[in-house]
Amino acid sequence: MVRRARHAQADYGARTHHSVGRPRDDRRVSGTPLWVTITLPAIGYIAAVVTELLRGRVERRGAREAHDAERAAVVAERRDLYEIDTLNNAIEALNSLARLAMRVHLADVKAARDTKGLYAAHLLPDAQLDEDFRLGHMRVGNLGRTLLDDGCRAAIRTAQDTLGKPSRMLKSDPQDAEAVMNGAQAKASEALDVLAERLRAVYAGDNSRGGV
């Protein structure tokens, strides 16, 4: 009886000693696997890095787009200023050429009547008028080539050509020359209307028509 009690006490002591001496597994204390505890912070760090990279890319793209938009606005403004300047110069030059053409025409008509001869059968008595008319043609031609709008270039080219026709009608009937000059003045007026219309469109911000 005493021996059995001693054996039971020994077994209990052995079990107690084994339980106390065995190391505790901390990985199981919280109920969360160790790989989760290690991986979650790493995932959070990677996510933060990726977010910053994406944010930086978006910011750089936005900066580029803003720069491109600003540059496009500057280019458009310069284009408008250039076109306004050339249109105004072309209008002034074409008006001047139309007046000079009429002065040359009237001088030729007067000479024909005074001599009872033909139109443009003699040199103009006013050499300066003849030179101004020649230079006026050159100026209109040069300015016409600088216009950006296709329609304006075509209109001013047609007007320039028709304004020069009467002076090329050497030894013609004055009445025929009169009809040609009237048509030339009408073409010049039409061209001036085209130039003025384009000028208004540019001031209004409409660049949808025309091209180089």
Sign of CA dihedral 100, 105, 108, 114: negative
Query: Measured between alpha carbons, how far is 189 from 80 in angstroms, rounded to an integer?
Result: 24
Q: Hey, what long-range contacts does 58-66 have (CB within 8 A, 24 or more apart)?
A: none
- CATH code where residue 88 lies: 1.20.120
Residue 41 within a domain: no
Residue 18 within a domain: no
Residue 69 within a domain: no
Query: Measured between alpha carbons, how far is 192 from 169 in angstroms, rounded to an integer?
Result: 25
Residue of higher predicted confidence among 180 and 65: 180
Query: Measured between alpha carbons, how far is 147 from 52 in angstroms, rounded to an integer?
Result: 50
Residue 145 within a domain: yes
Residue 67 within a domain: no
Domain range for 175 is 83-203
Residue 19 within a domain: no
| Burial class of residue 151, CB neighbours in 10 A (0-12, 13-18, 19+) | middle
The reported pLDDT for the residue numbered 130 is 92
Q: How many CB atoms lie within 10 A of CB 126?
A: 13
Please tell me the pTM assigned to this model.
0.66
Q: Is 206 left (phi over 0), alpha (psi -120 to 50) or beta?
A: beta
Residue of higher predicted confidence among 141 and 44: 141
pLDDT tens, residue by residue, 136-181: 999 999 999 999 999 999 999 999 999 999 999 999 999 999 999 9
Residue of higher predicted confidence among 195 and 117: 195
The reported pLDDT for the residue numbered 53 is 76
pLDDT band at residue 34 under the 50/70/90 scheme: low
Q: If we measure between CA atoms, which residue out of 149, 150, 162 comes closest to residue 189? A: 162
Residue 22: phi and psi, rounded to 5, are -80, 130
Residue 13 within a domain: no
Half-sphere exposure of 207 (CA within 13 A, CB side): 15
The DSSP code for 24 is P
- Domains contained in the chain, number: 1
Which tokens in the block code for residue 160?
Answer: 């320039």
Q: What angle do CA 175, 178, 179 make, to 5 degrees?
A: 95
Residue 139 within a domain: yes
Task: Fill in the amino acid letter for 59.
Answer: E
